[in-house]
Amino acid sequence: MSSSRQPDHLPIPADTRHLCRTLAALCVVHLGLVNLAGCGSDTAIRPGDIRTYTAPRSAVSSPTAASGPGLASTAPDSPRLRYELPDGWAAGRSASGMRLATVLIGDPHEEREVTVIPASGSLRSNVERWQGQLGGASDTDSSQAAVERALAEARTVEVNGVEATVVLLFDARAAAGEDGEAILGAMVPVDESTALFVKFKGDAAVARREHDNFSQFVSSLRWN
């Protein structure tokens, strides 16, 4: 009696083998797409992963005018001011704020400052204001008389092609010949609305002594 041996593996139909290969290929493609897209929880793009960056603006340094004895350091849009110092005068602190220049009369430790600032207003209005700074505002008649006297005795000097006015004002004590205070002031027209105002306020004896030097300093002013 012959016995029939069963095969170890059943044959797989050709169409079945083709279907298996197709499914395997699709699985490989699917896994690759998943990895590329980052669909896993560890690689997912979250809102916090998107950031914006602003490039810093480069610093812009403003040019600074040269400074030194006889030359005022000014802001870039201010006129460069030049001048000559009379004998015994010295350069003061650097220009700042409204001041285009500060120079000193005599010993710097005495701090007898002469300032140069740009401003507006008429000569008379500024002379009246200066006289008020000397304590004459309480007596209107005396104050106006002092203003009229200062304007009548004013000096005129040529400055950079224009005519400037220099006045000397005294407080009541100095006007009476005693120790007191005075103001040396000058108005230098720059254009129709602006002028340079030069001013010293201090001991009347110093103002009288430095009157000529003050006028010389005013006449030396030059600007661009």
* pLDDT, position 147: 94
* pLDDT, position 101: 93
Contact (CB, 8 A) for 134 and 182:
yes
- Local structure of 103: helix, strand or coil: strand
Minimal CA–CA distance to 126: which of 164, 176, 173, 84?
Answer: 164
Helical ranges in 38-105 per DSSP H = none
CATH of the domain at 193: 3.40.1000
Establish if 73 belongs to a structural domain.
no
Please write the tens of the pLDDT for every residue from 61-103: 222 333 333 444 334 444 578 999 999 999 987 777 789 999 9
Contact (CB, 8 A) for 170 and 204:
yes
Establish if 89 belongs to a structural domain.
yes
Number of domain units in the chain = 1
Establish if 45 belongs to a structural domain.
no
Please write the tens of the pLDDT for every residue from 31-58: 444 443 444 444 454 444 433 333 333 3
Apex CA 217: angle with CA 177 and CA 97, to 5°? 100
pLDDT surpassing 80 at residue 222: yes
DSSP annotation string for 154-223: -EEEEETTEEEEEEEEE-HHHHTTSS-EEEEEEEEE-SSS-EEEEEEEEEHHHHHHTHHHHHHHHHT-EE
Establish if 63 belongs to a structural domain.
no
Establish if 22 belongs to a structural domain.
no
* pLDDT, position 136: 55
Mean of pLDDT values over 149-154:
96
Distance CA 107, CA 72 (A): 20
Establish if 2 belongs to a structural domain.
no
Which structural domain, as residue segments, surrounds residue 128? Answer: 81-223
Establish if 185 belongs to a structural domain.
yes
Tokens of 132: 């008020």
Instruction: Look at strands 155-159 and 113-119 and give their pairing.
Output: unpaired
Establish if 145 belongs to a structural domain.
yes
pTM, rounded to two decimals: 0.64
The beta-carbon contacts of 90-95 under 8 Å, at least 24 apart in sequence, are: 94/67, 95/67
